[in-house]
Amino acid sequence: MHFKLIIAFVEDSKTDAIVEAARATGATGCTVINQARGEGIKARKTFLGLSLTSQRDVVLLLVEQHLSRHILEHIGDVGEFDAKPGTGIAIQIDVEDAVGIMHQAEELGDIVEENL
């Protein structure tokens, strides 16, 4: 079984919706890193030296490769990444090897067979 790592940088107000969307499309779990900071094309606005930006979260999802594109597209739709600038981005990268995922691999076996 091969895996992909989906990394999503999202507004903290949308984190729960993103996690629910990922689970609904086949993700078996995630890790959320709170209070990340990012900057896009436009510089941040400040007021008296204080930043006027919302908090970001980083959502890490280790998913089976056959499910990864569908999960990536669905969280992008739910997070409105392409519809509204600055709402977030998501990427996926190949995972060469992983340990500690035997329980997930057993559960994913039946799901992946249904989708092939």
Q: Do the beta carbons of residue 86 and residue 6 sit within 8 Å?
A: no
The reported pLDDT for the residue numbered 114 is: 64
Which residues of the chain, if any, have pLDDT below 50?
Answer: none
The reported pLDDT for the residue numbered 48 is: 65
The reported pLDDT for the residue numbered 100 is: 85
* Residue from 85, 110, 83, 78 nearest 1 by CA: 110
- Residue ranges of domains in the chain, CATH in brackets: 3-39+47-115 (3.30.70.120)
The reported pLDDT for the residue numbered 45 is: 63
pTM comes to 0.81
The reported pLDDT for the residue numbered 46 is: 64
